[in-house]
Amino acid sequence: MSKPSFKTTFALRPGHPTLQELHRILLEQADLALFQLTTPELDPDKAVHEARKAFKRIRAVLRLVRDEIPKDTYRALNLLFRDAGRALSEVRTSAVLAETLEKLAQHALGQLSSEDVDAVLVRLRAYHEAQRVQAMGTRQLLLEVAGQVQEGRAQLRDLPLEAHRFPTKGLQRVYARGRRDLMTCEHHPTVEALHEWRKYVKYLRYHMRLFTPLWPQVLGCVTASLVDLSEWLGLDHDLAELDATLTVHPELGLPGPRQGMLRALIQTYRAELEADALRAGRRLYGERPKAFTHRMEAYWRAWNLDG
């Protein structure tokens, strides 16, 4: 028997008012999160991952429409979905540790023995299971977070989003913040600064995915580049989390000098990812914010005339 699924359309559709479309998408993403959190047939780790992605998409769309809704409503909804994601973060972080080690081993082919990798994987997976138990059992946690999401969906339903206009200010704000974060990371590439930049790269990635129908040949490529950039920054962050975990829990890693070698490989891989990310970022954030958003709005106007 196939597992149950839930389909959404995370893109603007022609012939519909733009803000109304963004309203539809907000509600669909809340419904998707609820489906992941309340369907017992789904794998809990994947459900956590998919629900957290839905929360990030919701927060990205809220940033687009924040000038269209009351300030207090925006703040309350942004915090609600932020806190829902944080409630699941520890379970997700521990689940990613083993995946990250496997990616490191693949990247550093021949520098880590398969025996060493397998031994650390066993310990990391056991650590993840312990984190699950500490989080009250994943299924119970999912149902508690689902209650928060139900509350958020009720608030989303009542948002006054019906007009047909382009969310210029919201897009410009997100692009400008990502551009500033890039500049910060070029001078001070700390774990925290890179993580902040990654968040706004992902918001812009979701925005470009929404707007890809405006000019698929152009914006599809931009979206693909933002996906690559956010994946590089995401893996960099996961490697930093793995390194931090091995610092706090050295018993999860390798004995003696092999632990130092493992952590050195992590740092080498992170340096490569950060160099790739900065090169891509300079291209993606090469325009001034006003020029970028005016160009996007021009695509939107042309798309409406074509439709």
Domain 18-287 homologous superfamily, CATH: CHAD domain (1.40.20.10)
Of 27, 293, 240, 252, whose CA–CA distance to 120 is shortest?
252
Identify the weakest region by mean pLDDT among 10-14, 16-20, 110-114, 212-216: 110-114
Q: For the chain, give the percent of residues with pLDDT over 90.
A: 75
Residue 135 has pLDDT above 60, yes or no: no
- Amino acid identity, residue 146? A
Separation of alpha carbons 59 and 73, rounded Å? 13
In order, the DSSP letters of 81-108 are: HHHHHHHHHHHHHHHHHHHHHHHHHHHT
Residue 95 has pLDDT above 60, yes or no: yes
User: What pLDDT, on the 0 to 100 scale, is given for residue 133?
Assistant: 62
Give me the phi and psi of 67, to 5 degrees please.
-80, -5
User: What pLDDT, on the 0 to 100 scale, is given for residue 306?
Assistant: 75
User: What pLDDT, on the 0 to 100 scale, is given for residue 150?
Assistant: 97
Separation of alpha carbons 180 and 170, rounded Å? 16
DSSP state letter for 15: T
Q: pLDDT-derived band of residue 267, with 50, 70 and 90 as boundaries? A: very high
Residue 1 has pLDDT above 60, yes or no: no
End-to-end CA distance of the chain: 41
Separation of alpha carbons 141 and 134, rounded Å? 10
Read off the tokens for 232: 């590089």
Separation of alpha carbons 223 and 238, rounded Å? 22
- CA distances (Å), origin 149, targets 4, 29, 52, 154: 20, 10, 11, 9
Mean pLDDT (whole number) for 43-65: 93
pLDDT in tens, 165-202: 999 999 999 999 999 999 999 999 999 999 999 999 99
- Amino acid identity, residue 173? R
